[in-house]
Amino acid sequence: MHIAEEQNERHVLSITVTNEAGILARVAGMFTARGYNIDSLTVADISPDHQLSRITIVTNGAPHMIDQIIAQLDRLVPVHKVTDLTDNGPFVERELALVKVNGIGEARIEALRIADIFRAKVVDTTTESFIFELTGPTDKINTFITLMRELGLVEIGRTGIVGMVRGKG
Amino acid sequence: MAEMSGADILVQCLVDLGVEVVFGYPGGAVLPIYDALYNHPTIKHVLVRHEQGATHMAEGYARSTGKPGVVLVTSGPGATNAVTGITDALMDSIPMIVITGQVGTSLIGSDAFQEADTVGITRHCSKHNYLVKSPGRLAHVIHEAFHIATTGRPGPVVIDIPKDVQVASAPFEKPGAIAHASYRPQVKAPAADIAAAIDMIAKAKQPVFYTGGGVINAGPEASAALRELVELTGAPVTSTLMGLGAFPASSDKWLGMLGMHGTYEANWTMNQADLVICVGARFDDRVTGRLNAFAPNSKKIHIDIDRSSINKIVLVDLPIIADAGSALADLIAAWKAAGHQAQDLSGWWKQIEDWRKVNSLAYPADTDEIMPQHAIAELFGATRGKDVIITTEVGQHQMWAAQHFHFDDPNKWLTSGGLGTMGYGFPAAIGAQMGNPDSLVVCIAGDASVQMNIQELGTASQYRLPVKLFILNNEYMGMVRQWQELTYESRYSNSYSDSLPDFVKLAEAYGWTGIRIENPDDLESGIAKMIATPGPVLVDCRVAKLSNCFPMIPSGASHTEMLLDPSQVSGTMADEAKALV
Ligand SMILES: Cc1ncc(C[n+]2csc(CCOP(=O)(O)OP(=O)(O)O)c2C)c(N)n1
């Protein structure tokens, strides 16, 4: 017997929640309990009175599963609103990465050159290393990292994605 | 404003919220609350023998009265013992409040004595939960918890209260109505959805109502509305295990339960329907059978208060997010306003009557052994004219009770559907009896299940609750044995109930009356004696050891592939079917 796999879609969900103890565990735990995927997760306080947080989750699944995920999120008591950015017209998604690259000689120069093309900032340097700071959509960061692998990449830190619908709110 | 201790605030809130009974068990972390309950003039505390018992009692109380059930347990093991009942209440949408004691706030996280991460453990098996860290928050949280437990799709809510919060004091003011910022269940259906539904129902040639526990949760008005709508439309009705009683079994429109152990007519009607009107049910795998063969030629309307139930398992044509009672009332009004008449469904009904003639619930006559189905039929007959509430444990006896005991009213049938919890039925009967002192409450149990919470015999004795515990004793975990016959060539791996106690003596040891029924000839008189004997009575009814529950849709099969009797059992199964639940 074999277990069949389904065709998945990537969706970015923006979830407004009450900023209370345990909320992240509630949301993240719902994903694990029901077998849904979390590819990226960010959370931060977004209101002046610290009452609300926004959680951005990148998930993937078959379309009916994405609908279920949204309905299951909506059902959690402290969840105010769930927006499927992927299904709501154009949206902006950004992620920040710190990438440490060791190198001397030609590789070091090449790394700097590529960083320039990607508009990555150098935020730390020694004679044998750089830390680059890069913001952008996931694809751009992935490409940058792939290139840096050949040039002495030693460490990566990524924030995960935040996203927002384009146009007037 | 008067200052009160956290424990007093809790108790005052319970009074303000109309709580009359608390099922609980004391311990270090709830001693302040127990002291506040000492000799309380209005709140009755039922001392259970095991915290799981308390949760199922609260469920039985809730399901039979429509009021939320309240549980009070200590930290650590008290809370973990409650987890099964909390999960059961979540699966079956039972309104329940579970108050757990917790170690003092300064000790949380230190592996203190009897510390457990109760909010962590119950996060995904409760509808919502709270850890209350200051007495000033308690009143609001308790009122909010009751609001959440009892509205929308009902469910269990856990309130974890550290011991220092019970002792410390805060100003108390009775909270007003709860206006929650993010929790706002949609109760009323959009008018356009109702109009679309009416249109579909009026056009259907082969409609069927498929109803579930949501109708019962929506209150007696919802059951009344269902009856009226069925009368108006003339369509047949089937229901899930949880929905039994919402529609009268004595009606000629009633098809019996559907699904794995449903009737031939219910399952064939679902299979051939051109319109399925699902009200407060959730397309559980025990109901649908093989999904790609489930009501294959039908349009589907799904009325549910929980949006996540919609399109979860089966894609529907018209989802309606609403309370079942509200939506049914709206449908009736819209049907009448449109001037629709009941359709001529005579062709459909003729077909259904042919299926009925198969008489799929027939069972062999007693030989020298009592047939378990016969025992239930006899119990049904003997209790006519009485206000009877039936609870069950889990197994064959549960399915036979669903098939052979017939319900005309809601809130009279209490069973663990979603979680299938052995150990539910007996405490649920005690809880139901607490809430309905004048009813005849009978738990139909199996010899294995009943041992899971048998300690509650003492609770019934202590509170003089005249529950009747009717054990269909086949000396097997019958349902497990049945599956082993179906799937594993009758290799009875660990399904024999060895070393059973002498149930009659056990009952007597707890001050109950014990009755043993062994011969078919004694069945009628034994049941009559059980009913006539005041106080709690246990009946050890010895039944045929090897009978199986039919009809049955085996795992992975469709509604049309029912096994009607043992001769159709092959004894083995493909791995794909074995892997299904
Ligand atoms: C807590 C729990 N453990 C295990 C099961 C699996 N199970 C389902 S039915 C059953 C046998 C029940 O036997 P009994 O109570 O004697 O009832 P019968 O089927 O013989 O009527 C078992 C073990 C369960 N439902 N619940």
A64 CB near a chain B CB, below 8 Å?
Answer: yes
Q: Average pLDDT in the B135-140 region? A: 98
Determine whether B206 is an active site residue: no
Residue B576: per-residue pLDDT: 79
Backbone Cα Rg of chain B: 24
Last residue of a domain, one of A66, A87, A108: A87
Last residue of a domain, one of A63, A87, A111: A87
Out of B182, B307, B312, whose CB is closest to A77?
B182
Contact between B419 and B450 under an 8 Å Cβ cutoff? The reply is: no
Q: Angle B191-203/B324-337 helices, nearest 10 degrees?
A: 60
Query: How far apart are alpha carbons B470 and B538 in whole angstroms?
Result: 6
Query: Is residue A97, in this structure, part of any structural domain at all?
Result: yes
Query: How far apart are alpha carbons B281 and B287 in whole angstroms?
Result: 10
| 3 state DSSP class of A124 | strand
Asked if A26's CB is within 8 angstroms of B123's CB, the reply is yes
**CA B500 and chain centroid, separation:** 27
CATH number at residue A146: 3.30.70.1150
Whether residue A99 sits in one domain with residue A38: no
Query: Is residue A1, in this structure, part of any structural domain at all?
Result: no
Strand partners, A100: A131, A155
Contact between B360 and B550 under an 8 Å Cβ cutoff? The reply is: yes
For residue range B65-101, list pLDDT tens digits in order.
999 999 999 999 999 999 999 999 999 999 999 999 9
Out of B182, B307, B308, whose CB is closest to A78?
B182
Query: Is residue A70, in this structure, part of any structural domain at all?
Result: yes
Token output for B178: 């709860």
Unique residue bearing structure tokens 């700097």: A112
Query: Which 8-state DSSP code applies to residue B455?
Result: G
Whether residue A100 sits in one domain with residue A56: no
Which residue of chain A comes nearest to B117, CA vs CA? A22
For residue range A40-49, list pLDDT tens digits in order.
999 999 999 9
For residue range A77-103, list pLDDT tens digits in order.
999 999 999 998 999 999 999 999 999
Which residue of chain B comes nearest to A29, CA vs CA? B124
Active-site residue among B4, B51, B96, B260? B51
Of chain B, the percentage scoring pLDDT greater than 90 comes to 96
Whether residue A16 sits in one domain with residue A81: yes
pLDDT of A5 above 90: no
pLDDT of B577 above 80: no
Unique residue bearing structure tokens 């919890």: B421
Query: Is residue A158, in this structure, part of any structural domain at all?
Result: yes
pLDDT of A4 above 90: no
Single pTM value for the model = 0.96
Query: Is residue A114, in this structure, part of any structural domain at all?
Result: yes
Whether residue A115 sits in one domain with residue A83: no
Determine whether B51 is an active site residue: yes
Strand partners, A60: A10
Whether residue A100 sits in one domain with residue A161: yes
Per the omega criterion (within 30 degrees of 0), is the bond before B551 cis? yes
Of chain B, the percentage scoring pLDDT greater than 70 comes to 100
Determine whether B405 is an active site residue: no
Whether residue A59 sits in one domain with residue A19: yes
Out of A18, A26, A68, whose CB is closest to B181?
A18
Nearest residue to B421 (alpha-carbon basis) of B387, B389, B448, B460: B448
How confident is the prediction for chain B on average, in pLDDT?
A: 97
Residue B522: per-residue pLDDT: 98
Query: How far apart are alpha carbons B548 and A81 in whole angstroms?
Result: 49
Contact between B9 and B177 under an 8 Å Cβ cutoff? The reply is: no
Whether residue A83 sits in one domain with residue A22: yes
Last residue of a domain, one of A58, A87, A116: A87
For chain A, the domain total comes to 2
For residue range B198-255, list pLDDT tens digits in order.
999 999 999 999 999 999 999 999 999 999 999 999 999 999 999 999 999 999 999 9
Which of B177-186, B437-446, B570-579: highest mean pLDDT? B437-446
Whether residue A63 sits in one domain with residue A102: no
Contact between A61 and A48 under an 8 Å Cβ cutoff? The reply is: no
Whether residue A83 sits in one domain with residue A16: yes
Query: Is residue A2, in this structure, part of any structural domain at all?
Result: no
Query: Is residue A3, in this structure, part of any structural domain at all?
Result: no
Residue among B88, B392, B394 to mutate when testing ligand 1 (max atoms within 8 A of CB): B394
Which atom belonging to ligand 1 lies closest to the Cα atom of B397? 21
CATH number at residue A32: 3.30.70.260
Q: Buried (b) or exposed (e) across A116-132, using 16+ Cβ within 10 A?
A: eebebeeeeeeeebbbb
Whether residue A116 sits in one domain with residue A161: yes
Whether residue A108 sits in one domain with residue A82: no
Find the residues whose C-beta lies inside 6 A of ligand 1.
Answer: B 393-397, 420-423, 446-449, 472, 474, 476-480
Which residue of chain A comes nearest to B577, CA vs CA? A1
pLDDT of A1 above 70: no
Of chain A, the percentage scoring pLDDT greater than 90 comes to 93
Token output for B113: 């004595």
Whether residue A82 sits in one domain with residue A23: yes
Determine whether B146 is an active site residue: no
H/E/C letters for each residue in A6-37?
Answer: CCCEEEEEEEEEECCCCHHHHHHHHHHHCCCC
- Residue B425's pLDDT band (boundaries 50, 70, 90)? very high
pLDDT of B31 above 70: yes
pLDDT of B299 above 80: yes
DSSP letters spanning B310-373: TTSSS--SEEEES-HHHHHHHHHHHHHHTT------HHHHHHHHHHHHT-TT--PPPSSSB-HH
pLDDT of A65 above 90: yes
Q: Average pLDDT in the B15-33 region? A: 98
ipTM of predicted complex: 0.93
Query: How far apart are alpha carbons B306 and B183 in whole angstroms?
Result: 12
Determine whether B312 is an active site residue: no
Residue B182 C-alpha, separation from nearest chain A C-alpha, in angstroms: 5
How many Cβ pairs within 8 Å bridge chains A and B? 44
Range of the domain at A17: 9-87
H/E/C letters for each residue in B238-261?
Answer: EECHHHCCCCCCCCCCEEEECCCC
Out of B128, B306, B575, whose CB is closest to A77?
B128
pLDDT of B581 above 70: no
Chain A residues within an 8 Å CB radius of B182: 17-18, 77-80
pLDDT of B331 above 90: yes
Query: Is residue A27, in this structure, part of any structural domain at all?
Result: yes
Which atom belonging to ligand 1 lies closest to the Cα atom of B450? 15
The beta strands (E) that lie in B132-288 are given as 156-162, 169-171, 207-211, 237-239, 254-257, 275-279
